[in-house]
Structure 1
Amino acid sequence: MNIYDIARLADVSIATVSRVVNDSPKVSEKTKQKVRAVMEEQNYTPNVFARGLGLNSMKTVGIVCPDVSDAYMAEAVAYLEKSFRNYGYDCILYCSGYEYESKVKSVQMILRKKIDALVLVGSHYAGDGGEEDIRYLSEAAEKAPVFLINGYIRCPGVYCVLSENYQIMYDTVCALTEAGRQRILFLYDSHSYSATQKLSGYEDALRDNGLPVVEELKIFTENKIATVRENLLSKEGLSFDAVVATDDGLAVGALKYANKKQLRVPEDVNIVGFNNSELAVCCEPELTSVDSRSDALCKTAADSLMQLLEGKSIRHKRSIRCHLIKRGTTNF
């Protein structure tokens, strides 16, 4: 039994339940009696989430990301910290790594700090969306509202803000096929929700344009430029006329491969990266890349979180449109 169950049984919002817990004067005596009756009937003991929404706020937000040395995550964490500070909230940051047990432990540890809300940066925290993978998130959401950036799960108390990765990948691959590209390589380095959405967009675009999905053109590799180049060089007979990658580092590795094989870019091979990072402008030719708009993701998450803590209703899922930034590695 959690705050959502009490709100549902009493036919009120979770913010109203929180105000009742804190004996707020903003709630009528009639509503207070109704909610308290449900709480007593269900033997409900208010938790830190209920208290945090009301008068006893700790004014602290917890942020967890896998690796703050990652450029994308570092940028997201910096934006979130600045946004919450402007709202008058402090932040606590934990770096969890990518292993499941480490992620669970990090979430449990940061919740002991009595935070008002928890923000998870990256779709890795959603796993494959299965019940076992997200159990620790549903348990966390009983203690504090959870915001998941660039991932999606259906779970009470977990609010998701994500980029439209499927659509931008679908549109990009369609544009490549319309420009005559027939063998499009897909490079990826994880099985996260975000990567899975990109893969689905890639495959659907091929099918919808009458091209086969060729397994040998889907390559999983470590996201290190030199490693990508060497992996591609090691595959005898591999041929492709375009590359789409789930990260700029992977795309730059493909560009290094093309240079080694004396392939002209973009004439012989088009290459598209993802995240529009500094890497995109540190290579020659400069890299066409998808801007996943991490600033918009983080702003939406921060603003929505504050609205929730103020007792307002918010959507459980918000999506942000991506932009393709064309540079020298494509000519469509």
Structure 2
Amino acid sequence: MNIYDVSEHAHVSIATVSRVINGNPNVSEKTRQRVLAVMEELGYTPNVFARSLGLNTMKTIGIMCSDSSDPWLAEAIYYLEKELRSNGYDSILCCSGYLPETKKKYLELLCSKRVDAIILTGSHYIEARPKDNAYLLETAKDIPLMLVNGSLEGEQIYSTVCDDHAAVCSAAASLIKSGRKSILYLYSGNSYSNLRKLSGYRKAVRDAGFTVKEELMVLCQKDLDAAMEQLKKLSSSGIHFDAVLAAEDILAVGAVKYADQAGIKIPEDLNIIGYNNSILSRCTTPEITSVDNKVEALCTTTVNTLMKVLNNGNVPAKTTITPELIKRGTTNF
């Protein structure tokens, strides 16, 4: 049995049945009772699609992330789903990977589910070339897109970002002020967030009057063993560094492992700073100084903004969250 059967047996329109299901007051009591009696007689239980006819909403939000095994993204998904539930919304999660074609595929899939909005979690959804973001701009004409730590200007696109540029610039400046003269910067890709972090590193080095050296800005696979081996290779090739500033905590863990195996004292001989303030930053000895980019605040702000958007509220297109450096045992400033 479905809503069409109820409509036929009760001799009312589908819209009227939907209004009864959703408790709409614009139905006479006599009609309401007739529809309810038919529903009971037929054993009909309304589903989410039937309810959506009257409310013009599925009360469901699509969430996309590139990799749910990533500690930061996993934590972000937790906070997003928690906040959505507290606002009466369900969610559908898609892990898209990093390839452009799969990102587009899963975005289309979520749109086909008639979700009320889509949250893109992480900065990997924003590409450097404008033409590669065209599909997002086109999708946003029909449905709101919320970006968690990514930024794109367009109609019905709302961004909540951490000031990654300022965070890395401040962390690097702290290392320089404490006497570190050769800071190695490790990063794992060219996403919007990574590029902002890299520009922050460059600024801090230039502001200190140092030369920005390409050999001290190293692209590395996002893996702790890969980071460790990368540092071994750099050291053996004669590149000197007295600090490591990493764009991800997992790369900073690799730096700790490198120092341990090389017999380098932390923090006396080598300072290390990670990023994200994830659980990984507390899993080494010493524990890692890390930038807290406020994942909970990013996610709760995103959902709060979305609720206002869905209720036709006036909201800013972009909201910036201020990060915080959490000092632990891998630095001595």
Please give the range of the TM-score, normalised by the shorter of the 2 chains: 0.7 to 0.9
1:249 match: 250
Q: Distance in 2 between matches of 1:288 and 1:69?
A: 23
Distance 1:229 1:84 in 2: 39
CA distance, structure 1, for counterparts of residue 88 and residue 55 of structure 2: 15
Deviates further, 283-292 or 223-232: 223-232
- CA–CA distance in 2 between the matches of 1:309 and 1:154? 19
Q: Percent identity?
A: 45
2:103 is aligned to 103
In 1, the alpha carbon distance for the partners of 2:195 and 2:111 equals: 29
In structure 2, what residue type is equivalent to 1:77?
I
Q: After the TM superposition, which residues 1-332 of structure 1 pair with which residues of structure 2 at under 5 Å, given as runs?
A: 55-128=55-128, 130-235=129-234, 236-332=237-333
Distance (Å, rounded) in 2 between the aligned partners of 1:185 and 1:112 = 46
The offset of 1:261, in angstroms, is: 1.7
Q: Partners in 1 of 2:130 and 2:167 — Cα distance?
A: 28
How far, CA to CA, are the matches of 2:108 and 2:303 in structure 1?
A: 21
AA aligned opposite 2:186: L
Paired amino acid for 1:126: I
3-state secondary structure, aligned to 2:325: strand
How far residue 55 of structure 1 moved from its aligned partner, in angstroms, is: 4.2
CA RMSD of aligned residues (A): 1.2
Aligned 8 A contact 1:291 1:323 in 2: yes
3-state SS in 1 of match to 2:209? coil
Q: Deviation digits for residues 101-151 of structure 1, max 9, x if unmatched?
A: 1111111111100011100001010111x3212111111101210001101
TM-score (norm. length: structure 1): 0.82
Q: 1:40-99, CA deviations, whole angstroms, 9 ceiling, x for partnerless residues?
A: xxxxxxxxxxxx9x9411111000000111111111111111111111111011000011
Q: Deviations over 1:241-267 (max 9, x none)?
A: 111111000011111111122111101
1:7-64 per-position Cα deviation (integer Å, ceiling 9, x unaligned) = xxxxxxxxxxxxxxxxxxxxxxxxxxxxxxxxxxxxxxxxxxxxx9x94111110000
Partner of 1:22: none
1:238 deviates by: 2.0
Question: 1:168 and 1:232 mapped to 2: Cα distance?
Answer: 23
Distance (Å, rounded) in 2 between the aligned partners of 1:289 and 1:276? 5
* Aligned length in residues: 279
Q: Tell me the CA shift for residue 156 of structure 1.
A: 1.3
Which residue of structure 2 aligns with residue 32 of structure 1?
none
Higher CA-based Rg? 2
- 1:120 aligns to what SS in structure 2? strand
Can you list the C-alpha shifts for 1:139-198, whole angstroms capped at 9, x where unaligned? 110121000110111111110000011111111111111111110000000100000000
Task: State how far apart, in whole Å, the 1-side matches of 2:147 and 2:111 are.
Answer: 15
Tell me, what secondary structure is at the counterpart of 1:234?
helix
CA separation in 2, counterparts of 1:176 and 1:254?
A: 16
Verify the 8 A CA contact 1:96 1:103 in the aligned structure 2.
Answer: yes
Matches of 1:229 and 1:325, distance apart in 2: 23
- Structure 2 distance, partners of 1:211, 1:193, is 25
Are the equivalent residues in 2 in contact too, given 1:111–1:143 (CA < 8 A)? no
2-structure distance, mates of 1:81, 1:285: 33
Q: Distance in 2 between matches of 1:267 and 1:275?
A: 24
* CA–CA distance in structure 1, aligned partners of residues 308 and 157 of structure 2: 14
Letter in 2 for 1:179: S
4+ residue runs of structure 1 moved beyond 6 angstroms? none
- Give 1:100 shift: 1.0
* Cα distance in 1 between the residues matched to 2:271 and 2:132: 37
Q: Distance in 2 between matches of 1:168 and 1:69?
A: 25
TM-score of the aligned structures, taking structure 2 as reference length:
0.82
